[in-house]
Structure 1
Amino acid sequence: MVLLSASVCGLRRLVAMCAAYAASHGLVYNVKKSVVMVFEDGSRRWSNVPSVSINNCVLQRVHKFKYLGHMLTSDLKDDDDIERERRALSVRANMLVRRFARCTRSVKITLFRAFCTTFYTCSLWNTYTLRAYNALRVQFNNAFRMLLGLPRYCSASGMFAEARVDCFYATMRKRCASLVRRVRGSTNSILAMIASRLDCPYVRHCCAISNGMEQR
């Protein structure tokens, strides 16, 4: 579970409420698996932050944490999560190349769509460097080349068009569009408010993706 608060005092109250509720039901929070993260605001850095305790134990403050498979960082940048996905893609692609080298071309394309185009939580990426983003794109293109046995420097757009497979940019646009559609169709009042604001940073990001622009 995650507790969010605009202040340390508010977070302490929330933690105390959770600890009291757990104690009343015969449960105890695992302090070793509980951490505190302070999200930074632009160039501001919070070095001296009052501690937060649970069960009389001070929680460790971290600047990076993996939550539900997504890498969160205190500076709200997505480079670390993009690198996580790049490494995962490399592992999946190498596995496919080793195990299915003798399969037909159509089978390999089906496997590529199933295992190499998921990009878990990629629709949440909003602030990242072009270097990290391009590294993932290159890994994606190379994975397809290796699986089909294509030359290393063949045209990426040409090979995807010939195989009728979405390229990297098309995959990203579809993921972002899918999330925006689900958010706009949600009955949750908070999500509806976010989706209705045209000045929302994420909506601007999705528009930039759709127009073929890159977020730096």
Structure 2
Amino acid sequence: MELFRSHCYSIYCNSLWLRYKVATLNRLKVCHNDILKRLLGLPRWCSSSLAFARNGANNLDVIRGHSVFSLRSRVELSTNSIITSVRQSSAYVYGPIQQRWLGLLFVQNVG
């Protein structure tokens, strides 16, 4: 599990990913799930959710959400004049990156 956490939690700059196809992200999720199962010696067809839960590991959605929350928190709390200026711009407030972040942080329950 330590090997998985050290190598598969570090998806650098994923909080800045904006332009990607859903199919590409789904393929990345499948790879992430398969890596965990292979390290645990589980068959490919077994439940990924169960494998993550039983081993206290985060899936890709949780890792991405944590990265977004961490970066967004640092941006919001920064006292750097350049970052403050960008943060107060309409491009930041209404831009696509902010919309993507909000979509990742506030998942809507349907039903």
TM-score range, shorter chain: 0.7 to 0.9
How far 1:190 sits from its partner (Å)? 3.1
How far 1:156 sits from its partner (Å)? 1.3
CA deviations over 1:133-180 (Å, ceiling 9, x no partner): 111111100000000011101111111011111111001100111110
Corresponding position of 1:211? 106
How far 1:131 sits from its partner (Å)? 1.1
Flag the structure with higher helix content: 2
User: Is 1:155 aligned to residue 50 of structure 2?
Assistant: no
Q: How does 1:66-77 map to 2 (within 5 A)?
A: none
**Correspondence for 2:35 among 132, 135, 143:** 143
Larger Rg computed on CA atoms: 1
1:123–1:179 Cα contact (<8 Å) kept: yes
Q: Distance in 2 between matches of 1:174 and 1:180?
A: 10
User: Is 1:169 aligned to residue 46 of structure 2?
Assistant: no
How far 1:119 sits from its partner (Å)? 0.4
**Correspondence for 1:193 among 80, 85, 88:** 85
What one-letter code is carried by the residue in structure 2 that aligns with 1:202? I
How far 1:182 sits from its partner (Å)? 1.0
What one-letter code is carried by the residue in structure 1 that aligns with 2:17? W
Q: How many residues align?
A: 105
What one-letter code is carried by the residue in structure 2 that aligns with 1:115? H
Aligned to 2:30, the other structure's residue is in SS state helix
Q: Distance in 1 between matches of 2:68 and 2:21?
A: 18
Can you give the 5+ residue segments of structure 1 that lack an aligned partner in the other structure? 1-108
Q: Percent identity, please.
A: 32
Aligned to 2:93, the other structure's residue is in SS state coil
Q: Distance in 2 between matches of 1:212 and 1:159?
A: 23
How far 1:118 sits from its partner (Å)? 0.3
Can you give the 5+ residue segments of structure 2 that lack an aligned partner in the other structure? none
Q: How does 1:107-122 map to 2 (within 5 A)?
A: 109-122=1-14
Q: How does 1:84-95 map to 2 (within 5 A)?
A: none
Q: Distance in 2 between matches of 1:192 and 1:200?
A: 16
Higher relative contact order (CA 8 A, sep 6+): 2
How far 1:195 sits from its partner (Å)? 3.1
CA deviations over 1:100-159 (Å, ceiling 9, x no partner): xxxxxxxxx011101111001111101211011111111100000000011101111111
Length-normalised TM-score, structure 1: 0.46
User: Is 1:178 aligned to residue 73 of structure 2?
Assistant: no
